[in-house]
Structure 1
Amino acid sequence: MLLRYCPEKVQPKGEVSQRGTHKERNRHRGRSHLQGVDAPPGLDPLENEFISLDMVPRAACLAPLAPKPPALTASSTSSTVSTSFSLPPAPVRELPQQCLPESFGQITPLPSSFCLKAGRAVSLYRARMDNRDVILRVLRGSASPSESHQFLEFARFLGRLGPHPHLVEVLGVVSVRTPLITVTEELQQRDLLGYLWRRRQENVNLQPPRDITEKRIFIIARQVCSALEYLHNQGCLHGNVAARSVLIGGDLTAKLWGLGTSFRAHIRGTLPTGEEAGLQKWQAPELLAKKPATYSCDVWSFGILLFEMVTLGEAPFPDISVSELLQYLQRGKTVKKPASCSTNLYSLIKSCCQWRQQDRISLADLLRKLQSGEKSANDKTVLQAAQPIDIEKYLQEAGYGASYNYTVF
């Protein structure tokens, strides 16, 4: 009754006024099957249509943070954090009501790659919004109510984390009409792993060198460490720190992403152990042994990330199978020093990848060492690789299943 006779009473704030009429509602309902991935090829289903976005106002960015968890010192890193996966109940950074109508333009599908994959219920698009490049995570029309709920919960999870210069920026959420969409900024170079592989190929072909020097590694590592420390101070483990989870901008600024594991841990209350394919080679020994997660698990993974960068994207522990990895580490072994790795950088890798959790460096100390190392790091010598990545060999060495589907761009 309200929708039919008093639409202004229930119209969400910021919705285009023409949608309040019964005729317009019928027109949109009739076109719903053309939206999202079901649109015919060549048709932009959102062209010239206004989308109400949940935008985080500047005031929300200034809201006080919840109390920080204990500092990650040698005495506290071993404490389990299974109860810390629930983000603080107050203040909750919920995305506000729809307020800024926007339109998307130049919408094109974003192809899946080895590191960038859409879920069964989600499609990815590249688009323009407000004169900037964005990525649209679009929920398919065939999604179940459970998948729709999870889609919006993930958006709220991202909203609660708040802004940070080295976390991917969430620009808004379309939640009052179909298709449901989460809008994030696009970083031109995409994931760090793919970027490292492309630099490796260019070096092999003797093309003009790019900015992968030891100093660049320190800069990227410092930026990622800053974002990771922020997440820990929010009471949130990342759980998937790796080159595939770092995005790189056109100016080579790094931003941490890959928060799906953290979100699932937030929902379930625990991080996955070493059972998830493709994660084992990056996981700390205690997770491989199916013990509770700690903040230091991310520190271990960060050390593996440093190894990935200095080797231009090689798989960690390439000569050790996943089934033998835990025993290998139990014998006191650790990541071998790559030929192109300086003593200073390798010492940081080892300080992260210590068997005992209490022996691992804290993120605060790690950040200080990265800042110090950046000042004296080599900025002239471009890192080289003997050969391009053999993707099938990489999948085997990294511990992915033989049936893993992949495309490399």
Structure 2
Amino acid sequence: MASTSSAYSACANTDTFCQIRVYQQEVIVVPVLFLMMFLVILVFLLLMKFCPEKVDRLQPNSKQSARNRRNLQGIDAPVGLNALEGEHIALDTTSYKTFTPSSTIKEEYTSDSLSVNVAFPNGRGSFGATASAFTKPKELPRQRLPENFNGVSPLPSSYSLKSDSVSLYRARMENRNVVLRVLKDSASKQENQSFLGFAAFLSQLGPNPFIPELLGIVSLRAPLITVMEEMEHRDLLGFLWRCRQDKVGLEGICEMTEKKIYTMALHVSTALDYLHNKDLLHCNIKARSVLVSSMFTAKLWGFGDLYARTSENTNHREDLGRKKWQAPELLVKRPATPKSDVWSFGLLLYEMVTLGEVPFAEIPVTELLQYHQRAKTLKKPHNCSNSLYSIIKACCQWKEQDRPSLAEVRRKLQSGEKSANDSVVLRVPEPINVEQYLKEAGYGESNYTVF
């Protein structure tokens, strides 16, 4: 202290730098340490608020390993897929009674008891080279989803007309709208197994910008839930029906133009090409199997039949409403090929340009094969351009070898999109009669559904 005082007294009153050097610890070092501690605490608090998964990595190894063990109990998920295992789900509705933890469900549907036999045949009926990568997914890291869903409410009945084992809810998650596919109380053990198997199938399918995004899976508690991104305009068929009128109430104005048909068809063809590259055949291409986002992005859906075929589900029943869209080789029970999807894709274009009419509406399902054998083609819709109609006709050729490949179809769509009319809005004054539509499409009952 005496030395410090003597050093200080040696400094002139106006020599500030001399005085700072004497008291550098008190003036510089200590404040800098306090500032660094403040910054570290601030960064940690920001991480806890906005990036909780990174904070988890900073926890002690014992806590982290325990949390990892819990996460590994669910369905294996690829990078970017969040798992909701063990998280609390708060629903703002009282209509669903089983949104509480259930030990029996948790014990019964762990990953050890879930056995999903998934095989991916290629167009020739054999198994593709990429199939093994799907049947044995690797354990990959998962992110933590929020503990609560906000604003959960049942979707309107118009969203799904089919009564099956799944209920649909809309919710908010991380400032975005999502759809919750919730397995009902009355579901059997086989339906539980199928529900989880389909979720595993979607997670293994991988992300694609033109396939609806799977955001999370609840598989260790009742009820079982898959969380999907919401496609605000719902299925393409309903969207086309709403486009028949000038105004669509609160949903705004539908403006389906020829250019938009080309653009949305390119979206679907991109997703279909993604499946074909994985040796997967959709075999259910139609407007009802396409979902539309708020930005009018078309995303391919309708994977239930694909999962049933690849999982070798013996209880799978064929959908009678698919026959109007099936290629001739499928009507005679021959193996499907990529050209079979090309046929159905041509009929999807027909649905889009007619704003949701049934292809071959005047032909009964029982006479459809004979009609195709006589080399009959679809009549040109009154508001369809020659270039678009030529693509439809090329896709719907009787012989598979006469149909263009999907790559050729995509090239024609890209070329047509550049010169397509984007100013004339397609309109059909008559609304759709749903009962008549179901009859013309070959449905035995009203089993129309979206998810």
User: Would the TM-score normalized by the shorter structure come out above 0.5?
Assistant: yes
How far apart, CA to CA, are the structure 2 residues paired with 1:392 and 1:41?
30
Corresponding letter in the other structure for 1:241: I
Tell me, yes or no, if the aligned pair for 1:14 and 1:101 is still in contact at 8 Å. no
Corresponding letter in the other structure for 1:41: S
Structure 1 gaps of 5+ residues are 1-6, 17-28, 47-67, 70-78
How far apart, CA to CA, are the structure 2 residues paired with 1:334 and 1:356?
13
Deviations 1:238-295 (A, max 9, x none): 111110111111111111111111111111289x89x531111010011111212112
When residues 183 and 81 of structure 1 are mapped into structure 2, their CA distance, relative to the original with a 3 A threshold, is farther
When residues 131 and 208 of structure 1 are mapped into structure 2, their CA distance, relative to the original with a 3 A threshold, is closer
The answer to whether residue 181 in structure 2 is matched with residue 137 in structure 1 is yes
Aligned pairs for 1:325-340 (under 5 A) are: 325-340=368-383
Which structure shows the bigger proportion of residues in helix conformation?
Answer: 2
How far apart, CA to CA, are the structure 1 residues paired with 2:90 and 2:433?
38
Larger Rg: 2
**% identical equivalent positions:** 51
Tell me, yes or no, if the aligned pair for 1:351 and 1:360 is still in contact at 8 Å. yes
Which position in structure 1 is the counterpart of 2:225? 181
Tell me, yes or no, if the aligned pair for 1:203 and 1:384 is still in contact at 8 Å. no
Which position in structure 2 is the counterpart of 1:346? 389
Larger relative contact order (Cα-Cα within 8 Å, sequence gap ≥ 6): 1
Tell me the TM-score normalised to structure 1 length.
Answer: 0.77
The answer to whether residue 412 in structure 2 is matched with residue 369 in structure 1 is yes
Which position in structure 1 is the counterpart of 2:94? 40
Tell me the TM-score normalised to structure 2 length.
Answer: 0.70
Tell me, yes or no, if the aligned pair for 1:218 and 1:374 is still in contact at 8 Å. yes
Q: State how many pairs are aligned.
A: 352
Deviations 1:110-148 (A, max 9, x none): 2344x7356632211111111110111112233222222
Corresponding letter in the other structure for 1:40: T
Tell me, yes or no, if the aligned pair for 1:189 and 1:248 is still in contact at 8 Å. yes
How far apart, CA to CA, are the structure 2 residues paired with 1:407 and 1:171?
21
State which of 144, 147, 152 in structure 2 corresponds to 1:107: 152
Which position in structure 1 is the counterpart of 2:325? 282
Tell me, yes or no, if the aligned pair for 2:262 and 2:413 is still in contact at 8 Å. yes
When residues 241 and 144 of structure 1 are mapped into structure 2, their CA distance, relative to the original with a 3 A threshold, is same
Structure 1 SS opposite 2:216: strand
Deviations 1:377-396 (A, max 9, x none): 01111112141111122111
State which of 427, 432, 440 in structure 2 corresponds to 1:389: 432
When residues 258 and 161 of structure 1 are mapped into structure 2, their CA distance, relative to the original with a 3 A threshold, is same
State which of 189, 192, 195 in structure 1 corresponds to 2:236: 192
Structure 2 SS opposite 1:187: coil
Corresponding letter in the other structure for 2:334: K
Segment of structure 1 superposing worse, 161-170 or 173-182? 173-182
Structure 1 SS opposite 2:198: helix
Corresponding letter in the other structure for 2:446: Y
Deviations 1:162-196 (A, max 9, x none): 11110111111112222211111001100011011
Tell me, yes or no, if the aligned pair for 1:220 and 1:253 is still in contact at 8 Å. yes
Measured on the aligned residues, the alpha-carbon RMSD in Å equals 3.6
Aligned pairs for 1:83-232 (under 5 A) are: 83-84=126-127, 88-90=131-133, 92-93=136-137, 96=140, 99-102=143-146, 103-113=148-158, 116=160, 120-202=164-246, 210-232=254-276
Structure 2 gaps of 5+ residues are 1-61, 72-85, 101-119
Corresponding letter in the other structure for 1:404: S
